[in-house]
Amino acid sequence: MDCRIVLAAGLALAAGCGHLRSSPVPLHGNREVVASLAGKWRGEYESAESGRGGSITFVLRAGSDSATGDVLMEPRGSTAVIQAADLGKQHLAHATNSQLLAISFVGLSSDEVSGALEPYIAPDCTCTVSTTFRGRVAGDSIVGTYTTTAPMLTTQRGRWRMIRERP
């Protein structure tokens, strides 16, 4: 899965923030680290292996133990539509669009972020895939990699990066 994702303590996509209705994502990290990563983050992801890339956006509020974030997946050079694997009420609680994928974070430290995306249907295998990500925090930027795993243990890798917006 090419998780268009990822951002330091969270991230979310932003290709139409008007379509976002993100649910809170629990953060696993101490309050000082969470506070240091507060703000709105924007970036992009890409994978030469899958040919997919897109935008990501994430919002983390200071003093909170959760963040909001979604990823929009946009396959380049394709009319294929990427959508969440489960389009039921749980998905609709955070998105008005089947292509917006939720982010759930596994861990957060002063210099590293890691997590996973909501499972989705990949167009290259028409199968449900899962994506995990990891990134390094350096001031107002985060740079990382992600791995998407499909059935039969097929994997694809990619890169992502985000920058914290200044108010």
Residue 96, domain CATH = 2.40.128
Asked whether residue 1 carries a pLDDT value surpassing 60, the answer given is no
Between 95 and 148, residue with greater pLDDT? 148
Answer yes or no: is 91 within a domain.
yes
pLDDT of residue 33: 82
DSSP per residue, 109-151: -SSEEEEEEPPEEETTTTEEEEEEEEEEEETTEEEEEEEEE-G
Answer yes or no: is 166 within a domain.
no
Asked whether residue 144 carries a pLDDT value surpassing 80, the answer given is yes
Answer yes or no: is 12 within a domain.
no
Q: What angle do CA 120, 104, 72 make, to 5 degrees?
A: 45
Residue 119 to residue 150: CA distance in whole angstroms: 10
What's the structural domain count of the chain?
A: 1
The confidence band for 6, taking pLDDT boundaries of 50, 70 and 90, is very low
* Single pTM value for the model: 0.75
Answer yes or no: is 1 within a domain.
no
Answer yes or no: is 150 within a domain.
yes
pLDDT of residue 15: 32
Residue 67 to residue 69: CA distance in whole angstroms: 7
Answer yes or no: is 167 within a domain.
no
Asked whether residue 8 carries a pLDDT value surpassing 60, the answer given is no
Q: Which domain holds residue 47?
A: 17-161
Q: Give the pLDDT confidence of 15-65 residue by residue, as tens digits.
A: 333 334 456 666 777 778 878 888 888 889 899 888 788 878 777 776 666
Answer yes or no: is 8 within a domain.
no
Q: Give the pLDDT confidence of 58-92 residue by residue, as tens digits.
A: 777 766 666 666 676 666 666 666 777 877 666 66
